[in-house]
Structure 1
């Protein structure tokens, strides 16, 4: 990925469009390349890819760059995320694809060092700027379950519904129970974290960092109104998420170091009857190319997943779908 690293950024320039390939092998490892001593940002690790030339589609640029850099022929790349950042010598818009179907072997065609690594390895400070955004998009689920309030549902029945969602494949859960006192919420969180962990998933809490650490949750999810300049002290390896309702919220979430966000409401919901849905067109404009994965939220279910992914969403977040027809996968 031919993006340079510097301490100065020029965000007045229009961004360069860069096609990026996250090439995976059968073990789920990703192909990383190390920039050569003769290149700017020498020694930094990156995903292969490069500039989209005039008159060239992003997909064509990706195929060309991967052939030129690592000698592979690709088929059916899948869009992962598109975002803009200005952390290098010029602003760039990264069009990131996952590449699982390819012919090799992968070879270093430009005298660079290449290797397949665990995705988490690319979070190292030795990777090019904003690589962590790509890894977040790669590793986050495309369905995010926001639990409904009890609303008179017996505790055991509520847990049974949770188990049903987990059996359907849910891997990321936000424990949303605003009516509970902190002590009751923490007791419930401990139970939910244990159940979700057994299913191979993680739970986001919405109270404070200390509670996240006490119960071993996956991370913390706050409304945009609670953001401060610094990321909450939840430790390495945990996630920080933000509920956004505007482009400004998304920009603030990015600046605060959020790993992902939800953006709502796409459509009106019974849980927020006073908020009119903005629809997909406005959702796409608001989401724009902010540098973090963003879930679409508001009146959505499984049938909306393809539309969400086509709109540069990480996937869908849902509340009501949990209560009736849990989203799966």
Structure 2
């Protein structure tokens, strides 16, 4: 039986979005492979404390802020490893290769080093996922107004759009989806269609966004490059994890016009519900771009917004 090892791993990012990878030394397992810096969690030590200690020992840097992100497990020949990934956006010092053969700053979309350590490979796709999702509400404001808002948001930097509007007539929804996908692709943005796999395929979208009821009925992942789901409970989130979805949405976090009378689950509940999941989770419900730092501090990948997502500068 393989021993179980808890590991803290760091996605250390610069302002330009590049992250740091280290090449494993010749005298280690998987020598020459590239990995995210970090190391084993010692008995009685929290994953966060282990991260701070390991980055001081491995790289010579002092962590100022590390946000919990995702947790993934991997079976190696020598161990069953559970990796607790943190996003480290603030630190002091200059990274040095105290234990690695080399260090490189990389981009998920254009990795120039290989091979990646097997357990770290799936993280690269998660890092390609934008931090802000705009969710359409053309049924409320009209298709023309929605497309105009989409154009403005894409010009301001929005790079992930969920085409929702399930109450529109089929012809109107197809028009919205087709035109939205074309606009997104012209800006290099991802577009996913809510709930309708046939429509998502027909309009050439990048993926499918599942409603919670649909998620509960599935036994295998739909065949799209990007698949996510709206979730309301820990059971929903665990179902998304079993299907190996690329992301989930959880909320409402704060009071929102979409759910009148609901107070929202709050940040504490969001953090507890999303702990130790293998995929990124967006917070949704009453949120604005100014809530981004708070959301990520509680473990969210980013924020999704139905109303405030349009007209604000995305990031």
TM over 0.5: yes
Alignment of 1:7-46 (within 5 A): 16=6, 18-23=7-12, 29-35=18-24, 38-41=27-30, 44-46=33-35
Is contact 1:260-1:292 (8 Å) kept? yes
Q: Residue 270 of structure 1 corresponds to which residue in structure 2?
A: 257
Equivalents in 1 of 2:28, 2:314: separation in Å? 45
> Per-residue CA shift, 1:239-298, capped at 9, x if unaligned?
111111111111110111111100112234332337552222222221122111101112
1:258 correspondence with 2:248:
no
Q: 1:144 aligns with which of 109, 130, 133?
A: 133
Which of 140, 148, 152 matches 1:160? 148
Q: Is the 8 A contact 2:193 2:209 kept in 1?
A: yes
Let me know the Cα RMSD of the aligned residues. Answer: 3.6
Selected match of 1:313 from 296, 300, 310: 300
Q: Distance in 2 between matches of 1:202 and 1:37?
A: 40
Partner secondary structure for residue 321 of structure 1 = coil
1:280 aligns with 2:267: yes
Bigger shift: residues 164-173 or 32-41: 32-41
Alignment of 1:240-255 (within 5 A): 240-255=227-242
Q: Distance in 2 between matches of 1:208 and 1:294?
A: 21
| Structure 1 Cα separation of the partners of residues 12 and 46 of structure 2 | 19
What is the aligned length?
Answer: 310
CA distance in 2: counterparts of 1:74 and 1:326, whole angstroms = 34
TM-score, with structure 1 as normaliser: 0.77
State yes or no: 1:94 paired with 2:104.
Answer: no
Pair 41,224 (structure 1): closer, same or farther in 2 beyond 3 Å: farther
Distance 1:261 1:328, change over 3 A: same
Q: Which runs of 5+ in 2 are unaligned?
A: none
For the residue of structure 2 that corresponds to 1:39, the secondary structure is coil
Question: Which of 112, 119, 143 is equivalent to 1:129?
Answer: 119
Deviation for aligned residue 1:56: 6.3
Q: TM-score, normalised by structure 2?
A: 0.80
| Structure 1: gaps (5+ residues) | 1-7
Task: Tell me if structure 2 keeps the 8 A contact 1:296–1:317.
Answer: yes
d(CA) in 1 for partners of 2:33, 2:51: 20
